[in-house]
Structure 1
Amino acid sequence: MLKRTVAILFILLSYSSSSFAQKAEADTVLIKELKQYPKKNILPVRRPVLFPEILSPIQSPNLIVKVNYWRNLTQFGINVNQASFSDNWGAGGVNSLAMGGQFSYKTDYTKTDKNFASELILQYGKLKNKDQLSRKTADRIFWDNKIALKLSKSWYFFGSINFESQFDVGYSFSKDAKGNEKRTLLSKFMAPGYLTESLGFEYKPVKHFFVRIGTGTARQTFVLDTALYRTNPKNFGVTPGKTFRNELAFQVVSSYDKEIAKNLILKSRYAMFANYEKLSRIDNRLDVTLTANVNKLINVSLSGILLYDDDSDNKMQASQTMAFGLVYKLAN
């Protein structure tokens, strides 16, 4: 009886474990089927064609294409300075009014190995202090023209012509024995006037800088007022009674014009003129202008000039001006 009972229990346990195993296997298969991800690249994808389509040129008899090789910049501005004080102003002062204007025009033509550049600068300013004679603060006519032929990457053969003079009469001021102010005539329009022609080589590695070496340079000095020597004995090197003087010389001219910082422009020009007949006395002139653009219409400029010309004075001459005013630019 005992043996029969044990056999029945063994049979029941075997059946139970077999059923449990089959159920566990079925659950595992179901889980695997649920965990399967969709197969990749189920849908076909068409790859783009990377070959560009070649377009035929436009055939139109009415189409005219022009290339502008000219670059132009026009600029003009005006400066006004005024000061006034009451009669009992403790710190002292003098009523004054100063006005000045400037016009400049630059043009450049560059095509293949040929270049033409021209620059015109007109400046004039006047200052009037109370109980004093009026004085000039600026007075200049400057016109420079150059034609160049490219020889290599940075070297050119050039020919240039330059004109320089002033608009108004110029005076020196002093006081007589009674303390009254008096003035002495020094210069006027075309007294002096300079016309300079030069041939040589130009080094221009970048757009904002160049050096011209004029091995063959001629300068004509004009003093059309033949009586000017009476108040200006040097007469700008022209023989008294004559109106013209010609010189042959070696000349070096360099220029730098670049925005050195945002809205800050540095412009400088140096000119050396060495007369072949008196190389020991070389004329030098340096012009430097630093301009800060406040906005499109307002700027502040600081200018300085150093000049040595023994036909004008035996010492170094210097001038400095600072201006705040309106300026308008037109470029194309």
Structure 2
Amino acid sequence: MLIRCLILLFFIIYQCHEASGQESKNQSDTTILKDLKEYPRRNTLPVRRPVIFPEIVKLPEPDSLKLSINYWRTWTSLGLNVNQASFSENWGGGGVNSLAFGGQYSYKTDYTKGDKNFVSEVLLQYGKLKNKDQLSRKTADRIFWDNKVALKLSKNWYFFGSLNFESQFDRGFSFTKNAQGNEIRTLLSRFMAPGYLTESIGFEYKPVKYFFIRIGTGTARQTFVIDTNLYRTNPKNFGVKPGKNFRNELAFQVVAAIDKDIAENLNLKSRYTMFANYEKLKSIDNRLDVTLTARVNRMINVSLAGIVLYDDDTADEIQASQALSLGLVYKFPR
């Protein structure tokens, strides 16, 4: 009986001990989980901030760096367009075999440094058209070279001097037919017949980069006709006396130009020139060139160009020309 009581007492003590250990373990696990949920404590160790000691470094002289500034800007473009059409002899819709081509080269350079500015622009154009059973005809022919030197006077005004040359490459004809229906051509012009050289000084107003107007209060123009026999087929002879090849005029001149992108991939370029001879103020020469160019992609452009001209030394009425072309154009730098 005593042994049974001792065994029962031992069993009770053992169960109490197990229950106490399990409770302690649960409390320990709860404490560990609580510690894991807490953010890591900040480092309580002292941190020494670095001390910066700036040191003065002497740079070399500007001349020794061999730096250079390019004050020149250039733009160059080359253009070519070709049109061809052919028809069979029994083509019911009618038509004539034809071949046409045209080319254009333009170059512009601009030098600006401080109050000084120099601009030079070259434009070369030539085109030809040949229809079956007809004589060939020109569609474009121009040599244009303009140079200007300017000194800035104020924000928008400059004092300028300019030199301008203009002529053509090839002979120009008028076409008629004789009694047999054959074409006859009459010579009207050729290279340096006419040729124009214009010198001008005055003031230029340029409020924005894409527009300017020049007022040439002192302008001289020389007209050249190197073919002294041209007056026989062209009686006006471009204002030069028959048998002579040179004429000088003093005049007042106004030149206005705009070159602006009016929309995405659409450019408007226009130039207006007024030339008023001091001896013939009642007869003023006017010329307006307008070109609208649409860019299809990097290499293809569509352009619509028009010219309106009044010069009584060439014709008694207003002259006009228009051309629409689609062709390849390469510009550089790209």
If the TM-score is normalised by the length of the shorter chain, which range does it land in?
0.7 to 0.9
Deviates more, 1:75-84 or 1:149-158: 75-84
AA paired with 2:230?
L
| Cross-structure match for 1:323 | 325
| Cross-structure match for 1:210 | 212
After superposition, the Cα gap between the structure-2 partners of 1:300 and 1:39, relative to the gap in structure 1 and judged at 3 Å, is same
TM-score (norm 2): 0.83
Match for 1:137 among 136, 139, 146?
139
Q: Post-superposition shift, 1:55?
A: 6.6
After superposition, the Cα gap between the structure-2 partners of 1:48 and 1:218, relative to the gap in structure 1 and judged at 3 Å, is farther
| Cross-structure match for 1:25 | none
Counterpart CA distance in 1 for 2:107 and 2:99 is: 28
AA paired with 2:284?
I
AA paired with 1:199?
I
| Cross-structure match for 1:92 | 94
1:213-241 Cα shifts (integer Å, max 9, x gaps): 00110111111111100000000000001
1:18-66 Cα shifts (integer Å, max 9, x gaps): xxxxxxxxxxxxxxxxx999999999999999xx998753569753100
After superposition, the Cα gap between the structure-2 partners of 1:57 and 1:135, relative to the gap in structure 1 and judged at 3 Å, is same
After superposition, the Cα gap between the structure-2 partners of 1:90 and 1:219, relative to the gap in structure 1 and judged at 3 Å, is same
Counterpart CA distance in 2 for 1:61 and 1:235 is: 59
After superposition, the Cα gap between the structure-2 partners of 1:46 and 1:89, relative to the gap in structure 1 and judged at 3 Å, is farther
Match for 1:306 among 305, 308, 313?
308
| Cross-structure match for 2:252 | 250
AA paired with 2:73?
R
Counterpart CA distance in 2 for 1:330 and 1:179 is: 49
Deviates more, 1:190-199 or 1:259-268: 259-268
Number of residues of Structure 1 aligned to a counterpart in Structure 2: 306
1:280-325 Cα shifts (integer Å, max 9, x gaps): 1110000011111112211111110000000000011000111111
1:116-149 Cα shifts (integer Å, max 9, x gaps): 0000111111000000000000000000000000
1:176-191 paired onto structure 2 within 5 Å: 176-191=178-193
Runs of 4+ in 1 over 4 A off after TM superposition: 35-49, 52-56, 58-62
| Cross-structure match for 1:82 | 84
1:143-154 paired onto structure 2 within 5 Å: 143-154=145-156
Structure 1 stretches of 5 or more lacking a match?
Answer: 1-34
| Cross-structure match for 1:20 | none
Structure 2 stretches of 5 or more lacking a match?
Answer: 1-36
